[in-house]
Every structure is written in structure tokens, then in C-alpha cells.
Amino acid sequence: MPKENFFPEIITKLPEADIPLEGVTSHLFQSQDQQFIFMSFDRDVQVPEHSHEGQWAVILDGEIELTIDGKKSIFKRGDTYFIPKGVKHGARIKKGYKDLTLFDQKNRYKAK
């Protein structure tokens, strides 16, 4: 599948998530108690350190450098990561990065 059409219509027809980062396109799948977010970045992005409910992701393309509880790790396509509830973390996300993230929180993001 070409990079510009990475996510198929079944995903792109989902509502966009209102994520306050430049360069991210996101699609929100809402369940009763959790959210799946499909994300794609068209530029390098720095995410400041923060914490929230649990977060699990699978990297679909590209690269992310995560600092979780003070430990830096690089994740690439096919890798997964988990951030437990309340653990401080931040990220350097590279242009071209795409993932599917599950937040153990029903209201992490709102639809645009």
C-alpha cells in the first residue's frame, strides 16, 4: 500500500482525534472504557514528559524514541510498548511514524 494511503478507508472514515500536536493525523475508535487511536506523523515531533492511564501501542511504520520512567528506548515497525498507569514518559517521534495505540481511558482524546 502506498505510504500516502497507509490507512485504509475503514480507518480514515473514523472521526479524527483532537490531539494537540503539530503534524499528526489521527483516527479515533471509541469503546465504552478505552480508546484506540490510529496515528500518522508527517514531521518530527517532540512530546513533553507527562503521565496518564495505561497505554499500549504497536508501531506500524517508522521510529519513535520513548523515555519511560527515565529509560530511553527506540521502537520500530513491528515493535510494541506498554506504559503503565501514572508512569512519566516523553517521546521523540520521527516523520513517517505510524502506530495503533490503545489508551486504557475512555476520554483521553475527544473527536474533532
Is residue 4 pLDDT above 80, yes or no? no
Question: Is pLDDT at 12 greater than 60 in this prediction?
Answer: yes
The per-residue pLDDT for range 37-58, each reduced to its tens digit, is: 999 999 999 999 999 999 999 9
Q: Computed from CA positions of residues 73, 77, 80, 85, in that sequence, does the dihedral angle turn out positive or negative?
A: positive
Report whether pLDDT(18) > 60. Answer: yes
Global confidence as pTM:
0.92
- % residues pLDDT > 90 (the chain): 96
State the pLDDT at residue 1: 45
Under a CB-based contact definition with an 8 Å cutoff, are residues 40 and 7 in contact? Answer: yes
d(CA 60, CA 83): 18
For the domain 3-34+41-101, what is the CATH code? Answer: 2.60.120.10
Cβ neighbours for 55, distance < 8 A, ≥ 6 positions apart:
82, 83, 101, 102, 103, 104
Residue with cell 476520554: 107
Order of strands across the sheet that contains 55-61:
24-30, 35-41, 98-103, 55-61, 80-83
In tens, the pLDDT along 75-94 reads 999 999 999 999 999 999 99
